[in-house]
Structure 1
Amino acid sequence: MPRRRGTGRGRLPLRVRLVAGFAAAMLVVLTGAGAFVYLRVRYALDLRLDEDLAAQSAQLTAAARAGTPPAVAVRSGPGEYWQLLDATNRVLAASPGLPPGSLLAPDQLDRALRRPVRADRGTLLPISARPLRLYVVPLRPGARPAAGQPAVTVAAVRRDQRDEALRELIGQLTLANLAALAVASLVGYRLAGAALAPVERYRAEAARIAAGATGVRLAVPGTDDEVARLGRTLNDMLAAQEAVLARERQFISDASHELRTPLTLLSTELELALRRPRSTGELERTIRHAAADTADLIALAEALLAVGAPPVPTDTAPPVDLAALLTDLVERYRTSTGPDGLHCRAEPALTVPGEASGLGRAVTNLLDNAHRHGGPPVTVTASRVGGLARITVHDEGPGMPPSFVPHAAERFRRADTSRTSPGAGLGLSLVEATVRAHRGELRICSGGVHHRVDPRFDVPCDHPAQGTSITLLLPTAHP
């Protein structure tokens, strides 16, 4: 079965890939350094040969131009040779020890008739039987003498020692580079292992957490390198996840408790109604009580669904006219509930991106809280402060206990003075979820205590000192 691309299977371990990349870079560096050393040594050896060839060629050329036989004028040492060639590449004279025939190829002769030419005969690798270095000088540059007339002089010297030195240098450089590459790869492998050891420990701890372990934290070294910062970030993430998990477990426990009470009452009323025959009036009262309990269950279920619903994205949401929304909302609330002293003051042309229904439910929950637990007058205000819209619901009631204010937005949290009133303690939780979805900030101020839920904006509070004020700070819509 063919392996799918992009799955990551079959890839080498990270340590091996790091060492492979390091070794490849070292190989390039060592090869470049070896090539530089080789070229410098070869240049120095060739320069020495060229000096010897220049001295020998000067004697040979002077003798040829003077008409003196080269064998008389040129003093050749061991491994030094010469030839006198005409324009057809025929040998007119040569030093002893050379094989018959010209040392030059036809194209080399053509170039030598115009200017001096340096050339090599034989290869470094594989080893040649007679490696020579040549220096060819024209007797009359630019002219082409007739056949049988001296045209160029060829000075030659054997390269055996030079080639042997270069071959030995190549061998030593190869061995030295391979040894350096092996040592560097081994050191790189150990260093990569030491650098990745904390990551492997993190992986082992993560496996324990995935297997169900709780309260586990990564052992972070006291350094300030990348691995240590990664460990601290992962520990912060684990702490945040455990906090979220604890809140969700508490939410499930509280929801189960809140659902159990009306369900138990409903079941008890129905069982009592079925124990003996009942009159029409008694059955009607039982059905009314059951309907009331059912309505409480529906309201609680809707509140739970609203709390657990994912936040509505506001990036592409249309702008909401807060003045129109709040004015209409307060008028309908006043008509349906009829509270005394309900006022609304909203700045015109104030818009925020978001969901009108969600913002309406949030403000309605705040009005319900002010109506149930606060006292008149209740004032709803909306104004612009900087680049934010500030919505405040204020009542003149007795306020919340100071110790309860920091916990007021938690799910199912109710003050002791409010446990006899209707509700499940989810109102401010729904408001906080709505504000968070709109990238805003919720503030709860009561009895001189100011609590900021997930503070985001550096905006001072602006409300009366008495009573309770719930403030929503929301980013405004750009024109």
Structure 2
Amino acid sequence: MPRRRRWGTRWGRLPLRVRLVAGFAAAMLVVLTGAGAFVYLRVRYALDLRLDQDLTTQSAQLTDAARAGTPLPTAARTGPGEYWQLLDTTNHVLAASPGLPAGSLLTPEQLHRALRQPVRADRGTLLPISPRPLRLYAVPVQPGAAPAAGQPAVTVAAVRRDQRDEALRELIGQLALANLAALAVASLVGYRLARATLAPVERYRSEAARIAAGATGVRLAVPATDDEVARLGRTLNDMLTAQDAALDRERQFINDASHELRTPLTLLATELELALRRPRTTTELEQTVRNAAADTADLIALADALLTVGTQPDQDATAPTVDLTALLTDLVERYRTSTGADTLGCRAEPSLTVRGDATRLGRAVTNLIDNATRYGAPPITITADQVDALVRISVHDTGTGMDPAFLPHAAERFRRADTARTSPGTGLGLPIVDAIVRAHHGELRICSASAHHRVNPKFDVPCEHPPHGTTVTVLLPAARP
């Protein structure tokens, strides 16, 4: 594994608050280092400017005396810590102030440049500490001329840098201590802030662990603030509420499915048991087999209905285009032919198209017609039109309608109104329609006796239907050209 990947893996294993503090400390270190460097450079510039001014004054005196031929020991008055040298073109010292070691203060390269133009240079280092640090200023005696060997060529003014270097070293130490103290305080504050900020997240994790262990009805303790962590807690509480509601629905579904399956299974077992209690004639056995086949067919139909409700894949933009006008017209004609119903009407605008599965959409409309025929009263009217970017399909009957209190439960699985319990059915007709409509990104509405219920609100389209009877409306996105 590459070294960078191993380092990234180790970094990722550190606690989040440690990584936050490390990143914060690194950023602070960069900022403090930059600020310290700026202060150091400004102070050094100010100190060097003062030294350069002194050197310029001293060098002017030396150069004027050298050009006039005046003896430098007489003309150059030096104070404490000030020195001078007079050099020829071979870097030989012609004259020098007392207190300097033997030899030129300039290197051959510095002398070569000083013969053409003034040169400023430093002798000795700030760190480590030099025994005799000097600031030099070399000026040619006759710029542009080529003096003969042994003749004055360059004057060198020098001044001790002890105080300047000491001040800079003390400044570096103070900046280092101040930056380390500021970094330590900032890291401590950052750590406490990160720990306080992530404390609710840790509580959320603990509560989530309890929920994963099987605890129910648990909700997170969310502070009364509006920061990101509080919003996360509220969102998680909403998710837990939705999860509990879904779990309750699934439990109710299992109970209802068990109840619905128990009846045909009990009838089937009872008929078979009675047929085996005593010898039966051929006619009786045939009747028993027919009854068992009918019960088996009911079980198959119930299983198919449950499968339809639970497995409805979402349709996407690549789904084929369905001509709803032709689909509705064909369904109504076939329904009339198979049932002989002459009270079924259809009014559909031409060229209504959606994207989806024609078979499933046809089943949804067929279920709505079956419900209207079984529980409503004729005449039954199917209308289809386009509203903005939606296709609206409505199935209306003129029956007494549903109880307004039952409307919110009409599309729930195995839920049946009290007036419909004595008629055949499993209570899966509208749930199947709802599942198909949701898979096609649509909306289902149930309106009865002036009461309105939107099963899955999605579109801001007003309801339009007669005031009496029951109207079930399906809104689907129209296919784009």
Q: Is the 8 A contact 1:412 1:425 kept in 2?
A: yes
Partner AA of 1:432 in structure 2: D
Return the alpha-carbon distance in structure 1 between the equivalents of residues 9 and 400 of structure 2.
Answer: 62
Which residue number corresponds to residue 252 of structure 1? 254
Structure 1 vs Structure 2 CA RMSD: 1.7
Which residue number corresponds to residue 76 of structure 1? 78
* Mapped pair 1:195 → 2:169: no
Which residue number corresponds to residue 241 of structure 2? 239
Q: Is the 8 A contact 1:312 1:355 kept in 2?
A: no
SS in 1 for 2:404: coil
Give the alignment of 1:105-254 within 5 angstroms: 105-254=107-256
Which residue number corresponds to residue 56 of structure 1? 58
Which of the numbers 457, 463, 466 marks the counterpart of 2:465?
463
Return the alpha-carbon distance in structure 1 between the equivalents of residues 51 and 245 of structure 2.
Answer: 83
Which residue number corresponds to residue 22 of structure 1? 24
SS in 2 for 1:77: coil
SS in 2 for 1:470: strand
Q: Is the 8 A contact 1:366 1:428 kept in 2?
A: yes
Which residue number corresponds to residue 94 of structure 1? 96
Deviates more, 1:1-10 or 1:284-293: 1-10
Give 1:315 deviation, angstroms.
2.7
Give 1:199 deviation, angstroms.
0.7
Q: Is the 8 A contact 2:275 2:285 kept in 1?
A: yes
Partner AA of 1:316 in structure 2: T
Which of the numbers 273, 276, 284 marks the counterpart of 2:275?
273
Partner AA of 1:437 in structure 2: A
Under a length normalisation based on structure 1, what TM-score does the superposition of the two structures give?
Answer: 0.97
Return the alpha-carbon distance in structure 1 between the equivalents of residues 322 and 147 of structure 2.
Answer: 102
Give 1:187 deviation, angstroms.
0.9
Gap change, CA 1:7 and 1:97, over 3 Å in 2? closer
Return the alpha-carbon distance in structure 2 between the equivalents of residues 278 and 150 of structure 1.
Answer: 145
Give 1:263 deviation, angstroms.
0.1
Gap change, CA 1:438 and 1:276, over 3 Å in 2? same
Which residue number corresponds to residue 371 of structure 1? 373
Return the alpha-carbon distance in structure 2 between the equivalents of residues 207 and 9 of structure 1.
Answer: 25
Q: Deviations over 1:230-268 (max 9, x none)?
A: 111111111011111110110011000000000000000
Q: Deviations over 1:365-406 (max 9, x none)?
A: 101101111111111111101110000111122211222122
Which residue number corresponds to residue 388 of structure 2? 386
SS in 1 for 2:13: coil
Give 1:421 deviation, angstroms.
0.9
Partner AA of 2:272 in structure 1: L
Give 1:337 deviation, angstroms.
2.0
Q: Which runs of 4+ in 1 moved over 3 A?
A: 1-10
Q: Which runs of no fewer than 5 residues in structure 1 stay unpaired?
A: none
Deviates more, 1:336-345 or 1:265-274: 336-345
Give the percent of matched residue pairs that are identical in Structure 1 and Structure 2: 80
Under a length normalisation based on structure 2, what TM-score does the superposition of the two structures give?
Answer: 0.97
Return the alpha-carbon distance in structure 2 between the equivalents of residues 427 and 226 of structure 1.
Answer: 44
Q: Deviations over 1:417-465 (max 9, x none)?
A: 1111111001000111111111111110111111111211111111112
Return the alpha-carbon distance in structure 1 between the equivalents of residues 470 and 9 of structure 2.
Answer: 57
Q: Is the 8 A contact 2:120 2:137 kept in 1?
A: yes
Return the alpha-carbon distance in structure 2 between the equivalents of residues 211 and 243 of structure 1.
Answer: 19
Which residue number corresponds to residue 339 of structure 1? 341
Gap change, CA 1:427 and 1:8, over 3 Å in 2? farther
SS in 1 for 2:121: strand
SS in 2 for 1:384: strand
Deviates more, 1:255-264 or 1:451-460: 451-460
Return the alpha-carbon distance in structure 1 between the equivalents of residues 186 and 20 of structure 2.
Answer: 12
Deviates more, 1:328-337 or 1:147-156: 328-337
Return the alpha-carbon distance in structure 2 between the equivalents of residues 8 and 260 of structure 1.
Answer: 58
Q: Is the 8 A contact 2:312 2:436 kept in 1?
A: no
Partner AA of 1:59 in structure 2: Q
Q: Is the 8 A contact 1:339 1:371 kept in 2?
A: no
Which residue number corresponds to residue 319 of structure 2? 317
Which residue number corresponds to residue 476 of structure 1? 478
Which residue number corresponds to residue 358 of structure 1? 360
Return the alpha-carbon distance in structure 2 between the equivalents of residues 86 and 338 of structure 1.
Answer: 130
Q: Is the 8 A contact 2:443 2:456 kept in 1?
A: yes
Return the alpha-carbon distance in structure 2 between the equivalents of residues 317 and 104 of structure 1.
Answer: 87
Number of corresponding residues: 479
Q: Is the 8 A contact 1:383 1:390 kept in 2?
A: yes
Which residue number corresponds to residue 424 of structure 1? 426
Gap change, CA 1:39 and 1:10, over 3 Å in 2? closer
Q: Which runs of no fewer than 5 residues in structure 2 stay unpaired?
A: none
Return the alpha-carbon distance in structure 2 between the equivalents of residues 333 and 198 of structure 1.
Answer: 61
Gap change, CA 1:15 and 1:299, over 3 Å in 2? same
